[in-house]
Structure 1
Amino acid sequence: MSLRSGSPMAAWGRPLPRDDADELRWLLFHQEEVLSLDQARQHLTPKAIRHRVASGRWRQVHRAVFVAHSGPVSAGQRRWAAVLAAGPEAALAGLTAAQAGGLRGFPDRPIHLLLPASSRRGSLPPGVRVHRTVTLTDRDVVATGQPRRTTPARSIVDAAQWAPGDGEARAIIAAGFQQRVVRADDLHQVVDRLPRVRRRRLILATATDAAGGSHSLPELDFLGLVRRGRLPEPARQKVRTDSTGRRRYLDVYFEKWRVHVEIDGGQHLDPRAWWADMRRQNALWVDGDRLLRFPSWVVRAHPDEVLTQLRDALRAAGWRG
């Protein structure tokens, strides 16, 4: 099948076969089978629209938004419906935009939208939360890809400032770095542009620590504990090569004293992951390192015990702080 030069591109970069489809079919393909009433009216008569809904070919998911099938509505289609209902100035934002950009590990409801403070909007589908801003420039919006959404850095910053608590805000930032959704320079530039960003100090401090290698909330909690106890600053996510030549990442490593700390999360309920970690631990002991392991809940619930053991290990290794 030949494609015309300059044919449109799908969100994932594949040419769309416009020679074989009319404009309405191409629009539905491009928008994941979702379209607004205004868009439908550009291609169909009111009678034709009503017939598609009455016959079950289309499903009305909002007063002015349709899905061109009768089955379950996907997460991507819900995002399209929210943007189309809110109008051309709306953009997916916060966690919703970050998830559209690849962030994993957080619930996908509600759908967050960002609108300029001066814009008007109509009614919205259930489960959509609108935020207003005086700062929404082209620098904050992804130039390619649909539906319209904020950049990864702006999305992570907004998700952190809209989070219900500081802990979730820190977890979102850490996940953004761990999953390589965001870069430190981009995030700092966004914060500099937002005059009244909430949790400014927390966002910047967490981003600095996460960029330095603390890629999970327990690791960030542990780093805060180290600083509170006035212990030496450790390396995070230190790369070591094991006896088989494989690269291993150490959660926390006090390199001068060869004290290594592992912070165990829920993944250690998996026996295979648990054995892989024990094997790595054994190799470190054979090499002469001291290794301490703490469950993440102990770091939060019993910080003084963690500090005591860590301080004792460092002193036994020669630290004189």
Structure 2
Amino acid sequence: MSRRQLYAAGLTRAELRANVRARRWQLVGRHVVVVHTGPMALDTILWAAQLSGGPRARLDGASSLIAAGLRGFDVDRHRVSVPRGARVFRDPVVDVRQTRRWRTDDLVGGGGPPRTRPEVAAVRGALWARSDRQAALLLTMVVQQGVVPPDRIGQALLQVKRDRRLTFVIDVVTDLLGGVRSLAELDFARECRRRGIPEPTRQVVRRGKDGRYYLDVFWEEWGVVVEVDGIQHALAQEVVADALRHNDVTLDNLTVLRVPVLGFRVAADEFFAQIERALADAGCTELGPAA
């Protein structure tokens, strides 16, 4: 409960202090009291975060997604939003901020602490992330775990008109919506030209013992293939690091590289350095300076 709720129920400040000193209760930050001293469950922690922001506060960003069922994504401090003009309750354990993107229909009703709808929270969490890598990780995990489908995230994204990370988030959401082929055919070729790499053939049909299959990207003259993996088909926590590690091993004796779409978003330089190395090792002399 918040201090305000306890006082409204008739408890005095002296009684609150006495229960805390006697270790029957514990304080969470400056404004919330937990009426036991045992370990706090996740729901308790989320309620404490929301109550710390005041009566109009709601969980937002990654914190709202965690309340909606997201697992495995850690936050330093839970994020709570209040409308512009509301009093901000400063608290060392909770990040309470005013937001101009405040709409009454973004609130999730029902049980649990008040929170922002998952699709809106996913967009905001990505825009507020510490880095592009963290933003892409959050969006991918939300879709993989079924917290909210990518089409609803895309709809919520249409409400954002300006942000320094908006273009990046649009790209990631597009990938999650299934735009992998367009990325392979357009973005990949454009990046090759910009980096001075010969433009490959794309979507090459080959026949194997099990029938036809497609090579996403193929430099036939040098026997180098790049397979582009959609980010919704792998574990987001490991996909980039695992692919880079796998490619390093593969380069010692093969020339088939696997590159996750997420890798283009957060580690493009590292992956294209591996592609250039593969081409050079295969005898390509057409690698030029980056444009």
TM-score range, shorter chain: 0.5 to 0.7
Report the CA distance between 1:106 and its aligned residue: 2.5
- 2:256 alignment partner in structure 1: 292
Residue aligned with 1:187, SS: helix
- Separation (CA, whole Å) in 2 of partners of 1:305 and 1:260: 11
- In structure 2, the gaps of 5 or more residues are 193-198, 204-209, 247-253, 283-291
- Pairing 1:150-299 to 2, within 5 Å after superposition: 150-212=116-178, 225=188, 228-229=191-192, 254=216, 261=227, 266=238, 292-294=256-258
Greater RCO structure (CA 8 Å; 6+ sep): 2
Deviations 1:27-63 (A, max 9, x none): xxxxxxxx11222234443265444333322112233
- Separation (CA, whole Å) in 2 of partners of 1:122 and 1:267: 39
- Separation (CA, whole Å) in 2 of partners of 1:127 and 1:64: 10
- 2:86 alignment partner in structure 1: 119
Q: Check the 8 A contact 1:177/1:211 in 2, yes or no.
A: no
Report the CA distance between 1:167 and its aligned residue: 2.3
Q: Check the 8 A contact 1:221/1:299 in 2, yes or no.
A: no
Q: Check the 8 A contact 1:177/1:183 in 2, yes or no.
A: yes
Report the CA distance between 1:172 and its aligned residue: 1.9
Indicate whether 1:301 and 2:259 are aligned. Answer: no
Report the CA distance between 1:208 and its aligned residue: 0.8
- Separation (CA, whole Å) in 2 of partners of 1:267 and 1:159: 21
Report the CA distance between 1:207 and its aligned residue: 0.2
Question: What number of residue pairs does the alignment pair up?
Answer: 238
Deviations 1:162-188 (A, max 9, x none): 112222222222222222222233223
Report the CA distance between 1:74 and its aligned residue: 4.3
- Separation (CA, whole Å) in 2 of partners of 1:211 and 1:45: 53
- 1:87 alignment partner in structure 2: 54
Residue aligned with 1:103, SS: coil
Residue aligned with 1:66, SS: strand
- Separation (CA, whole Å) in 2 of partners of 1:149 and 1:307: 47
Q: Check the 8 A contact 1:96/1:112 in 2, yes or no.
A: yes
Report the CA distance between 1:227 and its aligned residue: 5.5
Q: 1:232 to 1:49 in 2, by over 3 A?
A: farther
CA RMSD of aligned residues (A): 4.2
- What TM-score does the superposition give when structure 1 sets the normalisation length? 0.59
Q: 1:179 to 1:260 in 2, by over 3 A?
A: farther
Q: 1:224 to 1:176 in 2, by over 3 A?
A: farther
- Separation (CA, whole Å) in 1 of partners of 2:154 and 2:106: 13
Q: 1:37 to 1:127 in 2, by over 3 A?
A: closer
- In structure 1, the gaps of 5 or more residues are 1-34, 215-219, 235-241, 243-249, 275-289, 314-321
Q: 1:210 to 1:77 in 2, by over 3 A?
A: same
Residue aligned with 1:228, SS: helix
